[in-house]
Every structure is written in structure tokens, then in C-alpha cells.
Amino acid sequence: MLHRQSVISGVGETAYSKHSGNSVLALHLECALTAIRDAGLDPKDIDGIIPYIGTGVVAEDFVTNFGIPDLRFSATTPLGGASPVAALQCAAAALATGICRHVLIPIARNGASGGRIASRMREAPQFRTVAEFELPVGAFAPAQLYAPMARRHMELYGTTSLQFAEIAVNTRRHAILNGNAMMTKPLTVEEHQASRMIADPLRLFDCSLESDGGAAVVVSRADCARDLRQPPIAILAVAEGHPDSPSAISQRADLTRLGIAKAAPRAFAMAGISHADIDVAEIYDCFTYIVLCQLEDLGFCAKGEGGPFIASGATRLEGKLPINTHGGLLSQAHMVGMNHIVELVKQLRGTAGRAQVKDARVGLVTGYGDMGDGSLAILARD
Amino acid sequence: MLHRQSVISGVGETAYSKHSGNSVLALHLECALTAIRDAGLDPKDIDGIIPYIGTGVVAEDFVTNFGIPDLRFSATTPLGGASPVAALQCAAAALATGICRHVLIPIARNGASGGRIASRMREAPQFRTVAEFELPVGAFAPAQLYAPMARRHMELYGTTSLQFAEIAVNTRRHAILNGNAMMTKPLTVEEHQASRMIADPLRLFDCSLESDGGAAVVVSRADCARDLRQPPIAILAVAEGHPDSPSAISQRADLTRLGIAKAAPRAFAMAGISHADIDVAEIYDCFTYIVLCQLEDLGFCAKGEGGPFIASGATRLEGKLPINTHGGLLSQAHMVGMNHIVELVKQLRGTAGRAQVKDARVGLVTGYGDMGDGSLAILARD
């Protein structure tokens, strides 16, 4: 069992920008060092590393640059945006079975100034599953692939672009409260509605940013974290889920159900809590619609009721389920969701600044990957 | 702990050749299906997948083609040739912590007819660690990078090319006994010595093959394997190790010590056995020298005594430590060592045919990765 076997002991971020001026390796080392020091550890204490696949940086880069003497576990979790939270599961398994004591999970990218996301999508192995039905009609950028999912939801359940706007506006509000967000100006519903169409029904402000920067967490075995610098944030549960076969988006029997729908019941059962116990949630937000769909698949509302749930203001800072309190991928930075984990840890430590949710004790973070893969973790401060 | 928590329940291989005539995906599905059926499982029982990185095939390919309904764990272990055995560790952790029940670990490649190894090395992320010191002098193919390691060992310990020849000749002998090996003609020491120099001191017959084909294993939680088709082969221990910093080969303080030297004591302690208990060993053999060096680093002989140890005939089928009973990467096929795991399982089941080691009960298998990474597993039939 993974329940309470490990904790997040350290978190770190670089500044987020459109042009870092640093190499991807330097950004990796910066955010990793920040997280390791935040935990009160020395880089040589790291004995497990799970880098994000596809940045060109591998575990050996940390061995070489930090002089890590005895790396005992290295892996990657190639689930696209579901990778960082899936990496928590992989780390928790390695820690619980005694393979290692402190696992570093870093990501860094020059996603704005360097290789931009859409331009590299054709090369991603995950995209072989869209090769037959989507690529031949010119659909390969994420917005193109997810637009039909959003449209299907609108057709089935009457979901509206105004409900997507509420997500964008709310997330921007939180970004402004954060001291390290790329977007710093308020966004109105009218501006969202007037923004240009990227892939119908997804408008510009339904889409996440492309960003330079890095974010990292250190996960430690619970019994190795008692004397560290920060209050340990326990992993109550973590799970991943994959969509029904076939993975090709346009061929799925149900376009509006993501892999996280399978993982969520497992995670809540492992955590031994109910939805009402979640004080704050950081929900992967590559597109506004994906947030709405996940809230349903997670069970915070029934399928088809995500639009009204969001329109009610429930996900605002003062609502019953504050989400994306850092500004998310939509308005803070696109760190593939590692920034969501960092923010949840800050919330549970009580150090989230102006966006702090009062008395946040239990929180949830999700990841969403290219092919509909999903991951979630439930964390708590004791 | 990973000790005895999981077993290898199924193994599968395709034919090995220079031209498969099949796609890499088709080869993956073929060897995976063979392994799954060997275990007595249905593809839908698979709930964990650890594909080899860099073949272009990802976990979703199996979800789509096999209709896997509930994949709960997916990862890769990017350690080059140490990946398959490192994947056993990763799988064992996922199984022991209850994440999943049956993990598929497949590899397939058209390494001879498709993308050949050396031509693709420059693109491999692991090779960033040779970018500063080796690439500028034109060294990027594996034989070029490992030649100085072999030469250093010869200088320090008087190791000879004739001792390398014994490894090549012995391995070829075993390949001929195997029904599925690319090399089918006997090799003599004289032929080895007369073969052309590839990267001094490594001659043609010191180098492994480039091969088309696929190999796969299924690892199952011990308590889920009792009623399966095959006698379960228990994982007594598994570990990975990385070389000292810096990873750049030519800059290491000790060129003759591999990462596996750190992993071996951990694995033997976890298994609770001594070297004398090992009945058969499948040792990663990308080059003859790497076999010799690993035998030392594993502790089967002292550092510097690998040459005499091998020259004594100890590693022959009738010796005290028969190795590479299938013909290895040198003479069976280069399946990145997955074929070594398959062969060890066959040996422990007693189904290794003409190369069967009598009464083999406990065996060892290793992996060796591009940057000196190492992995080993100790398996046993109860």
C-alpha cells in the first residue's frame, strides 16, 4: 500500500517567463536545488530521480552535476501532462519498498523561447495513437485534438463557452495573487468571449501558456522525513488511470470521459476520505474544458453538471472547492502540472501567500496526459 | 522490501533475424502476446506496462491493440541496456505496493533492418554526458566509448584479447545450442583474433549483434501467480546502480568500475544468498570486455582477476558459473538484455533445451547501460 508511506518534503520553482535566458539543464538544476534545500537536504542525499521525459535531461545529468554518490532508482512516467503526479505514484512505490529514501522529481523547459509545444507534437511517440484518424485531417496540435471533446460535452449537456470563461477568469484572478505568474493583468468574461478562436469551441483564453522555467519536488520516505526542515505533507493516496481503448481520441466510445475517472475511486478509497474533505484542489488545466471534465470524472459533481458547478462560483477562492490557486497552466505557467503539486504543498503548509485557502489541511492535485491519461494525488498536512 | 514479493510468470520471444519483415509495433505485440499466454493470462489481465524507451512504442499502444481495460501503472526505465532488469525493480515495487497485479515488460526493434544502433546514438539523451569530452574527438559509437575502458583494464591488470576471445567463443558455443540464435556457425579463438579491429582493442567478434525481433516478460505479484500456468520464478532480489560522478566515461576516476558494483552487494544481501549459490548467470554482453568487468564488479572474482577467471573455463556450460547460455547479445540477438531475462527464466524452469544447466535453481541476470549504469536480479525456482 502507498497510503502515508511517503511525504513531499521539498518544493522548488524558478521564475516563470517567456525567455529564461538559461539552458534547460540550468533550469533543471536550479529548481532541483531549490527543492532539495527547501527540504533541508543535501543534493548527495538524493537516491532516486524521476525526470520528465522529452526535455533531453536524464538522471545522469544530476549524478554528474550534483555528484550524487549512490543513485538507486531512476525512471520516467511518460503520461504527458499526467506525468508529474504519476511520478509521485512511482516514487511512492520505490520509497515504500525501501529502494531509496529521497526521490527528486524535476521538470524544466524553455517552452516559450525554445521548442514550442505544438511544433514538436508530431514527433511525440504518444501521438502515434492519433496517426490513423486525426493526423490525416491535419489535427495534431492539442487544441485541435481536444476541441471535439469539448464540443461533444456542449452537445450532450448544454455546456457553454461562458462556463469555460468562468474557469479562465477565476484562474487569472488567482494568478494575480501569486507572486510568480506570467499573466499579471485581470481578465474579464467579455475579453474571454472576444478572444480569437483557436479550435472551435476553444478560444485563446481557453488555452494554456507556453512557458520557460522549472519546478521540482522531493518525495521522501515518511520515516526519513521526520527531522527535515519543512512540515511533511503526507501522500494519502495516488493513482493513475488510462482511457478506454482505443486511445485514438475521435474513436472513443465516450469522448467525455477521461482516464482519471478510473483512478479517482481508487485514490479516494486509499485515502479513506470523501470529496467533502478536500479543502483545495489543483486541477490540470491545459484547456479550460479539461478542468470541467475532470471535476466531473473526479466525482465533485455528476457527469454533465460541470458547467453549472463552475458557474456557481464553487471553484473560486471563497467557494467550497477552491481550485488552481496559483493560476495554473492557464495563467501562471505551463510546467506540465509540476507547478500544481508545488502549489498544493504550499497551500497545505499554509505558505501560499495572498491565495492561501484558510485552514487548508487536505488537498487534491491532478494530471492529464495527451491521450486522456489521468493521475491524481491526495495530500494532507497532519 | 522487494524480496519474494513478485515472480516472473511469463516469457516470450519472436524469431531473431536481420530482417523481420514486421513493424516494430507488430514485433512488440507478438512477443508480448507470447509472454502473456505463456503465463496463462489474457491480455486484459495486464494492468502495468514498462516499455523500453526509444522504440516509439508506448503503453497506449498495448491499451489500444489489446483492449486493456484498466491500466494502473506505466513507466519506463531509461538506463540503456540496464533498462530491462531495472524495469524488473520498478515492476516489483509497483506490484509489492499493490498498484497492479501483472506488469508487462516488452522490447522489440528492427535493430538490423531498421534504425541501426550506432547511427542513432548521437540523438540519445544519455549521450549528453559524452558531449563535452568524447564527441569532440569523434567518439560516439559504443565500441569507441568502451574501447578505452577495456584498454585501461588491460594496462592495469594484464588482461588480454585472448581472454576476450574465450568469452566470444564460449558464447557462440551456447548460441549454437539454442534454437533461436542469429549466429549458427562455430567460432574459434583464431577467427576472433583475425577479425578486424573495430575500436582498439575491440575486434569484430568482441562486439554484439544488431538484430530484429522482440522479447517480453510478465512480472506478477507473488500472490496472484500461484494458479498460473508456469512454475513461478521468484524475484529474490533486484537493484540498480549508477557509476560515480562524473558520468562522462573518459573523466571517471576509475574507468574499470561500473555502476553494478554498487548494486551487487545490495542485491546479494536482499536475496540472502552467496555467490556460490548462483547456478547460472546471464551477463549483459554488449562487448566481451563488459562481461569480464561485470564478473569482477559482481564479486565472482576480485578486481583484475576477470581475465584468468574466464580463461579457466569457469563460465562454460560445464564450468562452475555457466554464463550466457542462450548466446547473449554477442551471438543470439541484441534485445537489450531482455533475452537474458527470458533465458534465465527458461533455465530455472528447466526448459532451456540443449543448453540447460543441470538442476539450475538460482540464477542471476544483469543489465549494463550506456553511461555505466548497471542492474541485476537474482531469481529462483522454489
3-class DSSP string for B298-343 = HCCCCCCCHHHHHHCCCCCCCCCCCECCCCHHHHHCCCCCHHHHHH
Confidence of residue A138 (pLDDT cuts 50, 70, 90): confident
Task: Tell whether A123 is covered by a domain.
Answer: no
Residue A116 pLDDT more than 80? Answer: no
Distances (CA, A) of B239 to B361, B364, B378: 20, 12, 9
> What span, in angstroms and rounded, lies between the C-alpha atoms of A140 and B116?
28
Q: For position A246, what pLDDT does the model report?
A: 80
Q: Which three cell numbers stand for residue B367?
A: 543489465
> What span, in angstroms and rounded, lies between the C-alpha atoms of B140 and A353?
50
Strands A73-74 and A48-49, by their bridges, are parallel
Residues 79-108 of B with CB under 8 A from A: 79, 86, 89-90, 92-94, 96-99
Smallest Cα–Cα separation from A290: which of A365, A372, A363, A210?
A: A372
User: Helix or strand or coil: residue A304?
Assistant: coil
> What span, in angstroms and rounded, lies between the C-alpha atoms of B198 and B204?
6
Residues 116-145 of B with CB under 8 A from A: 125-126, 128-129
Confidence of residue A303 (pLDDT cuts 50, 70, 90): very high
Determine contact: B375 vs chain A, CB below 8 A: no
> What span, in angstroms and rounded, lies between the C-alpha atoms of A82 and A242?
10
For residue A188, give how far its alpha carbon lies from the nearest alpha carbon of chain B (Å).
39
Smallest Cα–Cα separation from A17: which of A236, A228, A272, A212?
A: A212
Q: For position A220, what pLDDT does the model report?
A: 98
Residue A124 pLDDT more than 70? Answer: no
Task: Tell whether A173 is covered by a domain.
Answer: no
Which residue among B61, B93, B129 places its CB closest to the CB of A128? B61
Determine contact: A57 vs chain B, CB below 8 A: yes
Determine contact: B241 vs chain A, CB below 8 A: yes
Distances (CA, A) of A263 to A36, B103, B153: 29, 17, 51
| List of chain B residues with pLDDT < 50 | none
Q: Least CA distance to B73: which residue of chain A?
A: A240
Determine contact: A374 vs chain B, CB below 8 A: no
Does the pTM surpass 0.80? The reply is yes
For residue A336, give how far its alpha carbon lies from the nearest alpha carbon of chain B (Å).
17
pLDDT in tens, B28-81: 999 999 999 999 999 999 999 999 988 889 899 999 999 999 999 999 999 999
Q: Which three cell numbers stand for residue A134?
A: 486525426
Question: Exposure of B56 by Cβ count < 10 A (0-12 exposed, 13-18 middle, 19+ buried)?
Answer: middle
Which chain A residues are Cβ-neighbours of B63 within 8 angstroms? 242-243, 245-247
Given an 8 Å threshold on Cβ–Cβ distance, is A63 in contact with B245? yes
Given an 8 Å threshold on Cβ–Cβ distance, is B73 in contact with A125? no
Residues 342-371 of A with CB under 8 A from B: 371
Question: Residue for cell digits 491526495?
Answer: A378
Task: Tell whether A143 is covered by a domain.
Answer: no
For chain A, the straight-line distance linking the first and the last C-alpha, in angstroms and rounded, comes to 19
B313, B317, B319, B322: CA torsion to nearest 10: 100
Q: What is the mean pLDDT of chain A?
A: 94
For residue A376, give how far its alpha carbon lies from the nearest alpha carbon of chain B (Å).
12
Task: Tell whether A132 is covered by a domain.
Answer: no
Residue A304 pLDDT more than 70? Answer: yes
For residue A64, give how far its alpha carbon lies from the nearest alpha carbon of chain B (Å).
4
Which residue among B53, B56, B129 places its CB closest to the CB of A64? B129
Confidence of residue A360 (pLDDT cuts 50, 70, 90): very high
Percent of chain A at pLDDT exceeding 70: 96
Query: What's the number of domains chain A is made of?
Result: 1
A232: domain CATH number is 3.40.47.10
Q: Which amino acid is at A148?
A: P
Confidence of residue A136 (pLDDT cuts 50, 70, 90): confident
Task: Tell whether A186 is covered by a domain.
Answer: no
Type and span of the H or E element at B103: strand B102-110
Determine contact: A2 vs chain B, CB below 8 A: yes
Angle A321-A326-A329 from CA coordinates, rounded to 5°: 100
Question: Residue for cell digits 524521476?
Answer: A50
Q: For position A117, what pLDDT does the model report?
A: 59
Are the C-beta atoms of residues B262 and A93 closer than 8 Å to each other? no
Which residue among A71, A245, A263 places its CB closest to the CB of B63? A245
DSSP secondary structure string for all residues of B142-210: HHHHHHHHHHHHHHHH---HHHHHHHHHHHHHHHHHSSS-S--S---HHHHHHSPEEETTEEGGGBPP-
Task: Tell whether A194 is covered by a domain.
Answer: no
Determine contact: A115 vs chain B, CB below 8 A: no
Confidence of residue A260 (pLDDT cuts 50, 70, 90): very high
Determine contact: A3 vs chain B, CB below 8 A: no
Residues A198-207, mean pLDDT to the nearest whole number: 98
Q: For position A119, what pLDDT does the model report?
A: 59
Q: For position A156, what pLDDT does the model report?
A: 98
Give the domain range for residue B220: 6-114+209-381
For residue B283, give how far its alpha carbon lies from the nearest alpha carbon of chain A (Å).
20
Task: Tell whether A342 is covered by a domain.
Answer: yes
pLDDT in tens, B84-138: 999 999 999 999 999 999 999 999 999 999 876 555 555 565 566 677 788 888 8
Q: Which amino acid is at B367?
A: G
Size of interface A-B (CB pairs under 8 A): 167
Q: For position A123, what pLDDT does the model report?
A: 59
DSSP secondary structure string for all residues of A10-53: EEEE---BS---S-HHHHHHHHHHHHHHHTT--GGG--EE-PPT
Task: Tell whether B139 is covered by a domain.
Answer: no
Which chain A residues are Cβ-neighbours of B89 within 8 angstroms? 73, 99
Q: For position B126, what pLDDT does the model report?
A: 57
Determine contact: A78 vs chain B, CB below 8 A: yes
